[in-house]
A and B are shown apart, each in its own frame.
Chain A
Amino acid sequence: MSNETVLILNNVKAGYAIKRKFIDAVSSVSLELFHGEIFGLAGESGCGKSTLLRVIYGFVEPPLQIMEGSIILKTKNEKFEINKLSIEELKKRVWWRYITWILQGAMNVLNPTMRIQDHFIEMMMLYSNVDRKEAYKFILEYLKSLGLPKEVASAYPTQLSGGMKQRIVIALALLFNPLVVLADEPTSALDVVTQRVLLEHLLSVQKEKRFTLVLVSHDMDIHGVFTDRIGVMYAGKIVEIAPTKELFSEPMHPYSKALIESLPRVGDKTIRKGLTGSPPDLSNPPPGCRFHPRCPYAMDICRKEEPPQITIDKNRYVSCWLYTKR
Chain B
Amino acid sequence: MEEVNNMVKYLDMKISIAIIIALILYSIVVPFTKPYDPRAWNVVPRDQPPSLQYPFGTTSTGQDVFLLTAWALRNTLLLGTIASIMLVLISFTIGSIAGATRNALLRAILTYLIDSFCIIPFLPILIMVASLWRERLGIIGTALIIAVLGWGGQSRNIRSVIMGLRERTFTYTATFSGYSLFKTIYKSYLPYIVQWLSVAFIFGIIFCTGLETTLSVFGITSLENPTIGTIIFWTREYQAYLRGLWWWYTFPLIFFIILLASLYIIVRRLVSIFIIREV
Q: Which residues of chain A have a CB within 8 Å of any CB of chain B?
A: 17-20, 62-63
Contact = CB atoms under 8 A, between A and B. Distances in A.
A62 B3 contact: no
> Chain B contact residues: over half helix, strand or loop, or mixed?
helix
Interface in B1-41: 1-3
B52 to A, nearest CB: 51
Nearest to B3: A19
7 contacts: A17-B2, A18-B2, A19-B3, A20-B3, A62-B1, A62-B2, A63-B2
Contacts of A62: 1-2
A20 B1 CA distance: 11
B165 to A, nearest CB: 23
Nearest to A18: B2
Contacts of A63: 2
Contacts of B3: 19-20
B5 to A, nearest CB: 11
Nearest to B2: A63
A306 B208 CA distance: 66
Contacts, number: 7
A130 B1 CA distance: 42
A17 B3 CA distance: 10
A64 B214 CA distance: 51
Contacts of B2: 17-18, 62-63
A20 B3 CA distance: 9
A63 B1 CA distance: 9
Contacts of B1: 62
B240 to A, nearest CB: 52
Q: Which 5 A-B pairs have the closest CB atoms?
A: A63-B2, A62-B1, A62-B2, A19-B3, A18-B2
A19 B175 CA distance: 38
Contacts of A17: 2
Interface in B150-184: none
A20 B2 CA distance: 10
Contacts of A18: 2
A253 B90 CA distance: 66
Nearest to A20: B3
A63 B6 CA distance: 14
A62 B3 CA distance: 12
Contacts of A20: 3
A61 to B, nearest CB: 11
A19 B3 CA distance: 6
A62 B1 CA distance: 9
A19 B1 CA distance: 10
B100 to A, nearest CB: 30
B7 to A, nearest CB: 11
Nearest to A19: B3
A19 B7 CA distance: 11
A17 B2 CA distance: 9
B57 to A, nearest CB: 51
A63 B3 CA distance: 11
A112 B1 CA distance: 34
B2 to A, nearest CB: 6
A17 B1 CA distance: 10
A19 B2 CA distance: 8
Nearest to B6: A19
Nearest to A17: B2
A38 B3 CA distance: 41
B251 to A, nearest CB: 44
A82 to B, nearest CB: 23
Nearest to B1: A62
A63 B2 CA distance: 8
A138 B117 CA distance: 56
B43 to A, nearest CB: 57
B276 to A, nearest CB: 14
B137 to A, nearest CB: 50
B190 to A, nearest CB: 29
A108 B3 CA distance: 30
B8 to A, nearest CB: 15
A154 to B, nearest CB: 32
A20 to B, nearest CB: 8
Interface in B67-88: none
A121 B1 CA distance: 38
A172 B3 CA distance: 37
B152 to A, nearest CB: 31
A18 B5 CA distance: 12
Nearest to A63: B2
A18 B2 CA distance: 8
A283 to B, nearest CB: 15
B33 to A, nearest CB: 47
B279 to A, nearest CB: 15
A65 to B, nearest CB: 12
A225 B3 CA distance: 45
A23 B2 CA distance: 15
